Amino acid sequence: MIKKIKLIFTILISVFLTIIIVFFLIGYFFPPKAGLLVVSNPKADVFIDGVKVGETPYDAALKPKEVLIKIAPLDPRLTSYETRVRLVAKVKTVLQRDLAESDEKSSGILISFEKAVGKNPVISVISDPDKAQVTLDDQVRGFTPLELGSIDSGEHKLSLSLFDFITKEVNIRTYPGYKLTAFFKLAPVPPQEQPAQKSLNFKVQIVKVGKDGLNVREKPDLSSSEVGQVKEDEEYSVLEETENKEWYRIGKEDESLGWIPSQYTKKIEGN
């Protein structure tokens, strides 16, 4: 009976050791993969360590290591982007880029991971330019550069905003024992194109204002701010007029001075 018990015990130990060895060998020969997602707007080629691996969106499981990633737009007028990224086993690194004619006009987000001190997830937020407002799960948390500790594991919404720059937002996933670093490259808000000036092709002379002159307004409204003054008998080009023709925007050589009531002008004959 004792021999049978010893035999069973020996078999169990052998099975247990075999399982441990198998798992060790699986981990040694088939280590856990690291996830990588590369997204761009517009579409682009993706290179890893100088080798083309596909086009965006590129989603793959790779060997954990540091790699050089290049996003090369199909449109030759746009600027390529290149960066080094450390891929971490069992977590996904995300690289998103909005490509433009220059680095200054481009924007993007890089989400990367590294081991943290302790078990709680940590979020580090960096931006170019800095001093951007950080919002996590709809709560303002501060300004970049910023590090947030004691963050719950799981899904979160992270966004950055800065005056005169386009707001960027991304969904992230935090992991126990890992520090998530989010680097935001913000793009400036493009300047609004001014509507073409309406050429009216006539000049006016200032009349009926006396020695006190006439105030020039910022907008065609008497309550608008005063931006200058014109004098009796002075001549100006009319750059624009209101629909009811009660106000003229005047100037010299297409340089706008502001708005005046048309009743204090006289059209110069021959224009």
**Cβ within 8 Å of residue 20, ≥6 positions away:** none
- In this predicted structure, the answer to whether residue 183 has a pLDDT above a threshold of 70 is yes
Is residue 15 one of the residues assigned to a domain? no
Domain count, the chain: 2
Do both 174 and 44 map to the same domain? yes
pTM of the model: 0.59
More reliable by pLDDT, 37 or 223: 37
Q: What does the CA dihedral 109, 113, 117, 123 come to, rounded to 10 degrees?
A: 20
- Binned at pLDDT 50, 70 and 90, residue 4 comes out as low
Which of these, 234, 237, 240, lies nearest to 207 by C-alpha position?
234
Do both 220 and 176 map to the same domain? no
Do both 101 and 127 map to the same domain? yes
Q: What is the CATH number of the domain that holds 251?
A: 2.30.30.40
Do both 234 and 171 map to the same domain? no
Do both 62 and 159 map to the same domain? yes
Is residue 58 one of the residues assigned to a domain? yes
Give the pairing type, strands 34-41 and 92-98: parallel
Do both 59 and 157 map to the same domain? yes
Which of these, 238, 233, 206, lies nearest to 220 by C-alpha position?
238
- Binned at pLDDT 50, 70 and 90, residue 216 comes out as very high
Which residue segment(s) compose the domain that 130 sits in? 32-185
Do both 174 and 75 map to the same domain? yes
pLDDT score recorded for residue 193:
46
